[in-house]
Amino acid sequence: TGRRFTLTHRLPDAHLDDALRADALKGLTGRPKSLPPKWFYDARGSELFERITELPEYYPTRAEHQILAARSAEIAALLPDVRTLVELGSGSSRKTRLLLDAFTATGALERYAPLDVSPAALTEAGEALRHRYPALDVSAVVTDYEADLTPPGRGPYLVAFLGGTLGNLDTADRRAFYASLRPRLTAGRDALLVGVDLVKDPDTLVRAYDDGRGVTAEFNKNVLLVLNRELGADFDPAAFDHRALWNAEHSRIEMWLRSRRAQRVPLPEIDLTVDFEEGEEMRTEISVKFRREALTAELADAGFTVRHWWTDPLSRFALLLTTP
């Protein structure tokens, strides 16, 4: 092993276009209209998200970092035989360095395999990491982990799904995610590390998704620019308002875009013209907030046992070490 950085495209370029077209067609003709959050992350969306992680109102990244700083050595000691660290939705991989520092200091780690839909994020992460970990192979994979979860390299595996991104999936989609991951892991050998945001007072939650500087509003509206560029639409971001609300029934933050006026938006690439009524809202993301008992039971139903549940000092966020 050593110093090899490979970038594998599991998604033929056409896939991304086809997937966006299918998602736009389905979502924009739904009741209510909606779009999957993975389309936020073009280059501008990824940059806006990095800025969100630094906002005072957006605590999850800092909280998870506190836990990883406190627990990475313990996690590496608990899993001394791990050869491949697979990260789902790696983004900039900045949060992963604490894990990689710990696993490369002690054990058998030979490969880091970030899986993400964004080639830009993977390339940037790959370049940064190969200097920091000269003995590590970095096998980056452009994939939609909801579609294809085959981990590169050889086990034992630690699969890390950090940042709270599990919360982007509703109950049914989480069940499908667990069902596609579980058969790829071996009981008694592999492990799954998940970062999740926890239920707390709604005001704190809403402010984390509707910051005073309007960065989250920009991030939310950016998906309209992605549709304009990729599908030839002409959404006017100024004709929509950002909304973040706490849906107590489903224990989740929801982000919406509200149409300021009645408007008609053509999307020529998919032969669709979309009408918005004045005040009509389109849902662009859910971010589920978890409770320990319910998530532990949900994971048990999916064949994962929670072995450790670590939180930051203020119990805002949790890092779970689970085993198949």
Judged by CB under 6 A, the stretch of 106-114, 115-123, 162-170, 313-321 that binds ligand AVJ is 162-170
How far apart are CB 27 and ligand AVJ at their closest, in Å?
A: 17
CB-based closest residue to ligand AVJ: 287
User: Where does 209-243 have alpha helices with state H?
Assistant: 215-231
Q: Report CA 288 to chain centroid distance, whole Å.
A: 12
Q: Which residues of 197-207 are buried (b: 16+ CB within 10 A; e: fewer)?
A: bbbeeeeebeb
Considering only residues 230 through 289, tell me which ones interact with ligand AVJ, judged by CB under 6 A.
285, 287
Binding-site size for ligand AVJ (CB under 6 A) equals: 11
Residue selected from 168, 222, 322, 323 as contacting ligand AVJ according to rule CB under 6 A: 168
How far apart are CB 139 and ligand AVJ at their closest, in Å?
A: 22
Q: Render 131-174 in DSSP notation, one character per residue.
A: HH-TT-EEEEEE--TTT----SS-SSEEEEE-TTGGGGS-HHHH
SS3 85: strand
Q: Is 156 a residue that touches ligand AVJ (CB under 6 A)? A: no
Contacts of 5 (CB under 8 A, 6+ apart): 126, 127, 130, 137, 138, 140
How far apart are CB 106 and ligand AVJ at their closest, in Å?
A: 29
Q: Is 163 a residue that touches ligand AVJ (CB under 6 A)? A: yes
Considering only residues 188 through 217, tell me which ones interact with ligand AVJ, judged by CB under 6 A.
209, 216
Pairwise CA distance, residues 59 & 81, whole Å: 33
Q: Is 150 exposed, middle or buried (0-12, 13-18, 19+ CB in 10 A)?
A: exposed
Tokens (6 digits) for 218: 């920009």
Pick 37 or 126: Cβ nearer ligand AVJ: 37
Considering only residues 45 through 74, tell me which ones interact with ligand AVJ, judged by CB under 6 A.
52, 60
Q: Is 167 a residue that touches ligand AVJ (CB under 6 A)? A: yes
Write the binding mask 85 to 124 for ligand AVJ: x where contact by CB under 6 A, - elsewhere.
----------------------------------------
Q: Which residues bind ligand AVJ (CB under 6 A)?
A: 52, 60, 163-165, 167-168, 209, 216, 285, 287
